[in-house]
Structure 1
Amino acid sequence: MSAPIRPGLHERFRRGLELSPGRTAVHTDTTALTYQDAHELALTWAGTLLSAAPEPPRAVGVLAAKGTEAYAGMLAALYAGAAVVPLHPGFPAVRTERMLRDAGVSAVVADDQGLAALRALPRDPGVPVLAPGRDAGPLRQLRPSRNLALAEPRPVAGEDVATILFTSGSTGRPKGVPVTHRSTAHYFDVLDRRYDFTPDDVFSQTFDLNFDCALFDLFCAWGAGATVRPVPAHAYRELPGFAKETGMSVWFSTPSAIALLRRMRALAPGALHGLRWSFFAGEALRADDVEDWLRAAPASRVENLYGPTELTVTVTGHRWDPRRSPGRCVNGLVPIGAVHDGHDHLLLGPDGRPVADEGELCVSGPQMTPGYLDPADDAGRFLHHRGRTWYRTGDRVRRLDDGELIYLGRLDSQVQIQGWRVEVAEIEHALRSSGAVEDAVVVAAAGPRGTELYAFYTGDARPAAELAGKLGEVLPHALVPKHFRQVSQFPLNSNRKIDRRALAASAAHGIGVG
């Protein structure tokens, strides 16, 4: 068992520094930073950030692609005792402006793309910008100086905010989620006890840095003195070669990556033989995807992880067992496992009362956020019960007989069709199992006769009557979609999850559906 870590999230990196000072902490297409190099940069940049105002910054935005500015900038923010706010330079200007304001960002670290994004804002953000080696133009520029370097990172308390992440809300505007150092300390202590990462590991990084799962990659790797290797878009075309060349041993992505790699014929038997751990999160994981993945990565252990940002990255995990797990699946989906040590959970029925076996998952424990940046967003998301506060995930789960949980879908994905309560995951599973399609996504949209089901599928185009007939053999008539559309691939959102909203909008407008 590893020794307990100090509360600051950046202490994960410092532990890696002690283990691997001369090893590579992060290796991009253009840059390799050793632990020592990244540490010295972060100390210099942190001191520069602190010199910009009489008061230490509460939050530092990092507006950069995956490069030196992004990784050293995140460390610098943490070293300065501030909350790091990872931002995507490709997001719309209005959205970026709102996130900067809502998070209370008082300084920004930027690269070329980040500077372009700042210049495109409707108004000057009015905060100093650290853009090493670049001209920030009309923006107030901070120039890093070794004379300003800190000797040590500033101390933080457990209740201090380590990072602020933004998640899309039902209102269509981003909701800020503060995550404390205490929450991340508990989270990574759980992971340290669960996994055997070493300095020899090379972690993929498929997630953008504004997505919470990127924290898993970074701080699991850095806590072990290992290397983080961002996966550029072009690498997916020949992932086995990229994985072999980089020595990749730990993979983490959304399940959508499996379908993408399958289409690119990158999952040949043994193609990813160097992987020893494979993690998937962000979407429901299918059993047949796991089996395809394991044929390509036979030496890997596979885990299905689950957790909303509000519960610090992930809060459950199921380790795939080829003998036991297939029989635990529901609608072809892999269990999400049991909640992390130190947490309690309960399931709520439609009437809002606790139920034994199936309902909305609520979790309470040390990984839970203290609340959204805007307290108005807390309404309906937190439950006070048994003298405790619980986060309502909005996810329907079933409790299996061994206590593990299985994800059934979002509460709002369950629709009423002709008086039937319809779970779209059941229809999607039936379509995949029919042998007629490769993959399927079912959405509900308003049609001429009320709410109707629309099925989007990949694979060869098939007559709608054929698909409806196959489903009619296993599903009640009301559960058979009225519309089918073949697509080459499903749209993905910025977090590389299947964009169900885009599909629903397409269905609602009748675009190519019929």
Structure 2
Amino acid sequence: MSEEYGGALHARFLSGLALAPERVAARGPGWELTYRQLHERALTWAGALLRAADGDGRGGPGAVAVLADKGPDAYTGVLAGLCAGMTVVPMSTGFPASRIRQMLDAAEVSAVVADAAGRALLAEAVEPGGRTPPVLTAGDGTLRAGAAHALTAPRPVRPEDTAYILFTSGSTGRPKGVRVTHGATDHYFQVLGTRYPFTPDDVFSQTFDLNFDCSLFDLFCAWGAGAAIQQIPAAAYRDLPAFAASAGLTVWFSTPSAVALARRTGGLGEGALSGLRWSFFAGEALTCRDAGDWHRAAPHSHVENLYGPTELTVTVTGHRWSPQDRDAGGLVPIGTVHKGHDWLLLGEDGEPTPDEGELVVTGPQMTPGYLDPADEEGRFLEHDGRRWYRTGDRVRRIRGEVLAYVDRLDAQVQVQGWRVEPAEIDQRLREVTGVQDAVTVAVPAPDGQNVLVAFYTGERLSPSLLVRGLRDHLPERMIPRRFQHVPEFPLNPNRKTDRKALRATAAGLLGTTTA
């Protein structure tokens, strides 16, 4: 493969740099960086990261963790890691220290880009006597980003090289790392490039945390077109129409939860978001009601429902909503699978079925695997001489190649766009003194979003004690909203825990209903 591989993920930023060098590449409250400024900053930081990696003793450029809130340091860190030919491992400063430590070790991180919050968390995450990776910040990091060591150009990479490692919730009780290659992102953004004619005049929302795979869509669709990324602060939702107008937003992307939030704050009035050209939703099921309400507020916008697990590189299907979408059970269809991929629906017997079953996909966006091969059990299958990814989602063919989401085949759920394995929560609950066993289920709240409810046996404990025990290990979004002590779990006819009965009980506790 030529060293001039044009499909490298950072090559999309170079395209934007060529189109609009003096335009804003990224901005947020009180700061902004032009393409030229971000490029120069990233090449300087890339040189410092490579010097750290050379001294790490592991060989190769290694991996760089980006442990920073959305802002100039985080965006520079992502781009610097890619320019250095390193694997970028985005992390959230909202994670507990123990989870950060697990991810640093699993990804064998050579260096860390951190802001002030990230530095404080890193100090807590590293165990006494443990190895502290070199840290780079805009201020007083242990790495010095001097111009003398700046790269003159990004380092070459190959399609099979890992661009990103994204950690998801794991059923084993620990986060699992998904490898995303430059070749996979290259195919992904080529597909998007033919579907969406973005321009340097566009301004993209950035609602997702950088450790959420949908953030790649925002960053590299914008940067590939020479457009701007606009960080969306929490306060913006108090009056989303006013914020969108003042920022000049033309492209919106979020989980469907944002629709309910905008509705509650009065932001979905007719024509309230008239500046939007494109509106994308992913991470949760999008209802036809939410799509219709959003479109009334953004009448000049195409509303699209995107779907895809991290293992298939951000999203692997798409569907453009229309008022005629009434044949998917109240949900907007997930649409058609991206070109270049093959897909099958598997029945309960594991054999292909024509109309409804588990969606399995193979093609150029599929991950080469997890950091720990043990995590691959049950997630991939061999069929027709090829490897396929099992999504665990039951889908239905509704017309032609158009697919609609039905439900999950396992206990995995989506909570505010996060993929959550309840088994990970259960394992951490069992570690709380006094808890004998635990089962966590998800039920829809009145706004349609999933809420976690945990049932446990053993001693009756205060919710605050249980929450404290979980916060040492789990992100805030994975902590159940309700805890219910039970003397024992209900059993189904097969003598297994009856999760359906628990979901019905949870719905009663929350005053909702289950399907």
One-letter amino acid of the counterpart of residue 33, structure 1: L
Shift of residue 502, structure 1, vs aligned partner: 2.7
Highest RCO, 1 vs 2 (Cα 8 Å, sep ≥ 6)? 2
Equivalent residue, structure 2, for 1:129: 135
SS of 2:222 mapped into structure 1: helix
Q: Which among 72, 81, 86 is matched to residue 90 of structure 2?
A: 86
Shift of residue 501, structure 1, vs aligned partner: 7.8
TM-score (structure 2 length as normaliser): 0.80
SS of 2:262 mapped into structure 1: helix
Equivalent residue, structure 2, for 1:7: 7
Partners of 1:50 and 1:56 within 8 A in 2: no
Equivalent residue, structure 2, for 1:502: 480
Distance (whole Å) between structure 1 residues aligned to residue 375 and residue 446 of structure 2: 37
Partners of 2:328 and 2:398 within 8 A in 1: no
- Assess, with a 3 A threshold, how the Cα gap between structure 1 residues 384 and 191 changes in structure 2: closer, same or farther: same
Deviations 1:215-246 (A, max 9, x none): 00000000000000010001011110110000
One-letter amino acid of the counterpart of residue 295, structure 2: L
Distance (whole Å) between structure 2 residues aligned to residue 23 and residue 32 of structure 1: 10
Partners of 2:317 and 2:336 within 8 A in 1: yes
- Assess, with a 3 A threshold, how the Cα gap between structure 1 residues 454 and 361 changes in structure 2: closer, same or farther: closer
Distance (whole Å) between structure 2 residues aligned to residue 45 and residue 452 of structure 1: 43
5 Å-filtered alignment, 1:49-448, equals: 49-52=49-52, 53-54=54-55, 55-123=59-127, 124-134=130-140, 136=141, 141-322=142-323, 324-325=324-325, 327-330=326-329, 332-412=330-410
Shift of residue 401, structure 1, vs aligned partner: 2.4
Shift of residue 285, structure 1, vs aligned partner: 0.5
Distance (whole Å) between structure 2 residues aligned to residue 498 and residue 254 of structure 1: 17
Distance (whole Å) between structure 2 residues aligned to residue 98 and residue 241 of structure 1: 41
Shift of residue 350, structure 1, vs aligned partner: 1.1
**What's the % identity of the aligned pairs?**
59
Question: Where does structure 2 lack aligned partners over 5 or more consecutive residues?
Answer: 415-421, 423-438, 448-470, 485-501
SS of 1:318 mapped into structure 2: strand
Partners of 1:303 and 1:320 within 8 A in 2: yes
Partners of 2:5 and 2:158 within 8 A in 1: no
Distance (whole Å) between structure 2 residues aligned to residue 292 and residue 11 of structure 1: 37
Partners of 1:204 and 1:230 within 8 A in 2: yes
User: Which range is displaced more, 45-54 or 279-288?
Assistant: 45-54
Partners of 2:359 and 2:392 within 8 A in 1: yes
Distance (whole Å) between structure 1 residues aligned to residue 16 and residue 444 of structure 2: 46
One-letter amino acid of the counterpart of residue 82, structure 1: M
Deviations 1:408-434 (A, max 9, x none): 1111269xxxxxxxxx99xxxxxxxxx
SS of 2:66 mapped into structure 1: strand
Equivalent residue, structure 1, for 2:462: none
User: Which range is displaced more, 338-347 or 125-134?
Assistant: 125-134
Shift of residue 329, structure 1, vs aligned partner: 2.3
Aligned residues: 434
Distance (whole Å) between structure 2 residues aligned to residue 29 and residue 100 of structure 1: 30
